[in-house]
Chains A and B, each alone.
Chain A
Amino acid sequence: MPTDYVHQLDNGLVLLGEPSDAFQSAAFSLLISAGCRHDPAGQAGLASLSCEMMLRGAGDRDSRHLISDLENLGVERSESVGVSQANFSGATISASLIPALSIYADIVRRPHLPEDQLEAGRAVCIQELRGVEDDPGQKLMMELRRRHYPDPWGRPSHGEQDDLAKLTAADVQQFFTNRYGPRDAILGIAGNFDWQEVCNAADELFGDWKVQADYSPITEMAPSKDTHLTYDSNQSHIGLAFPSIPYRHPQYFEAWSAVGVLSGGMSSRLFSEVREKRGLCYTVYASLHTQRERAAVFCYAGTTAERAQETLDVTHSELVRLGEGVQAEELARLKARIKSSLIMQQESTSARAGSLSRDWYHLGRIRPIEEVAAKVDALTAESINAYLAANPPETFTCLTLGPQPLELPNGIS
């Protein structure tokens, strides 16, 4: 069935659909290969600034008309820039879907990138960067990711203030020309819509979009090696990362469910050992972050300074203990949670549209929910433990942020 809802244009753009008349809405997620890993040396933040400029007028609408028209169509929208892609997503009532898509075609194909608004766009990006400084937990995890992955894969999309200050309108125009195009573009749509109508609209809106060059030099930035960031905060913020396997890997579900045992639901190991039994934290979690070619588990705990060492030690020992394997009962609970998540995800058009686009990026195909359910059913404690025995969490990247550094357990860099 899923193959019925894939439509690839000659220029490369892939349209994916999941129509369902159970909704009054439809949602879309448009991925463009314009992420921050394409920021050239000395221009960290260019992908973000470009994305910010995209909505400041496009086609025959100026900045105000563009936003007003989207709002009159009832589009709840968001734009974000990741390492690999810029994501333009939105949801609206069904009747507004195609008019909304036609505005988005203008945005990604015919943006004005007005020079007289460059300073405003730059100021927005710099404000965002400054905001992160006041959120120590977010700052820590951003810096941990930067230290754990080889550059450019751990870059924060916000960029650097000094680089942002130097970017010009010509830089933005150049980035747009190089990166915005149908090559590797993915448009996933879920909800109440007519597939054939949407295919026709996509042909009309994107069919003559010229393919951008297949050229993406990556400039590596020097890694940071420090393991502590001094910060005058009430809590100490602790981050630990260890390598894992990406979504497309055959054993991904084993790796993912092992992390679920660690940190999925309130009966999971981290929540019960660190928070419930010892009262060390309010927030503690681990999650598997996957890119197409690499993945890692990122773990966070925030606690007052005097209990930070114990929190780090207990959290670290739970991560190491995971290497000894999981119990059948833990897996049974996890499967119940996954099953209900899969079904509840079908109640959200935005969640489904995002999944369609991501699946295509990672796998080059749509992965039906039934297939995910079958893979989850097939998981056993033995299959997970075989994965863990071969890939025990034992080498970690650790970063702490707070009033004082902590003593790192062995095996941590």
Chain B
Amino acid sequence: MNPELLVLADARLPSGGHGHSGGVEALATRGLLRASADLALFLHGRLRTGGETIAAAAAAACLLAGTGAPEWAPWDAAVDARTPSAALRTASRGQGAALLRTVARAWPGPAITALHALVRPHHPIVLGAAAAGASATAEDAAALALHHLTGGAATAAVRLLGLDPLAVAAVTAELARAARPIAASAAAAARTAVAAGDPALLPAGGSPLHDVLAQLQESAEVTLFAS
């Protein structure tokens, strides 16, 4: 095991993720997510839709960062195109900028320096580049992105719904098992896209309801989480 990846996966690493529920708050407010079984079903769906998309973006960023100082803009734009909801683009860029401040100190290098040209790069791009700095594989970077997705939502579900933390821990362990083949397929797709130099080859799965709820959440007057 690579100990540096534990640091990068640790929720205590300053990365701005605490302000986001990964869609849990909008579902919980509407009674669409009430119990830990709902959380598991929700996150299995996220892994198979938007999860693979962000995992592949992180894996691609990890592979690109290994080449020195890549031209990030087309890969960052690919995340934009795969995120129909403006609220979710803002959330991803906000968390990317926050993580970039941390990783610029923790894993400095030419790839991270080049990311500053984007001003507010998307979160999976920064995460993948940081993972490369921590000697991760593309599969590791994809798994980190999925871990971030499920971990943030699970923490938010405990806070919002008062779910049993032990039940939620079991859910997150089950999701980690489900994430393994998705991380592998995301990394494989990322290798193909990076080898071809074509971000259009990255997976593009998403969920329309997730996007609609993110837009509704942004326009709601009182929420605990930004997204």
- Do the two chains belong together in a single complex? no
